[in-house]
């Protein structure tokens, strides 16, 4: 998952860096992905090209008009709408939430038209339904720091009182 992909050129560079065949992905044969060298190099590269998902994050206002073309770049497997950065890009605009919802609708349409999956991170049950309604097929329920924060808050609550 690569952040701030706002052009077709950047999407092509990202897709190439995710693949061995026809790409520019760097090789390391003694990694967990190659089961520490127990898979030969050619097998490892072919397996990684089949298994790696190249996901680009659409999270800049200047990326919206290019979302469809970005989604159609060979090797891009999915779009993720980075609504946190999009919201931040509007600063103190009281209408930011509505604008980001409209942007999300446009990006979702671009993903559908390009026939690539859409990923989103909903922030509430209602937002989950909004994301599903847009056609998001992968819904991240939190981030690593979100899960840590939730667990820490629960631990503090469990032991204070």
pLDDT at position 82: 97
Residue range 112-137: average pLDDT? 96
> Which pTM value belongs to this model?
0.87
55-159: CATH superfamily: Phosphoenolpyruvate-binding domains (3.20.20.60)
Task: Give strand pairing partners of 79.
Answer: 56, 118
User: What values do phi and psi take at 6, rounded to 5?
Assistant: -120, 10
Average pLDDT, the chain: 94
pLDDT reading at 161 higher than 80 = no
User: What values do phi and psi take at 45, rounded to 5?
Assistant: -65, -45
Burial status of residue 42 (CB atoms within 10 A of its CB: 0-12, 13-18, 19 or more): exposed
Residues of the chain with CATH 3.20.20.60: 55-159
Interval 86-114: pLDDT, tens = 999 999 999 999 999 999 999 999 999 99
SS3 content of the chain, % helix, strand, coil (to 5): 55, 10, 35
């Amino acid at each position: 998952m690569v952040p701030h992909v706002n052009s077709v050129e950047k999407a092509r560079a990202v897709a190439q860096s995710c693949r061995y065949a026809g790409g520019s992905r760097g090789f390391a044969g003694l990694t967990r992905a190659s089961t520490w060298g127990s898979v030969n190099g050619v097998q490892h590269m072919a397996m990684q090209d089949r298994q790696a998902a190249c996901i680009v994050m659409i999270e800049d206002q200047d990326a919206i008009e290019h979302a469809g073309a970005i989604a159609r770049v060979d090797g891009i497997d999915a779009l993720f709408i980075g609504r946190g950065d999009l919201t931040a890009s509007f600063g103190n605009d009281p209408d930011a939430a509505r604008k980001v919802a409209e942007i999300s609708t446009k990006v979702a349409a671009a993903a559908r038209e390009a026939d690539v999956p859409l990923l989103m991170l909903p922030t509430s049950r209602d937002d989950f339904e909004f994301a599903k309604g847009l056609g998001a097929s992968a819904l991240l329920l939190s981030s690593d720091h979100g899960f840590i924060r939730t667990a820490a808050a629960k631990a503090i609550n469990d032991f204070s009182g």
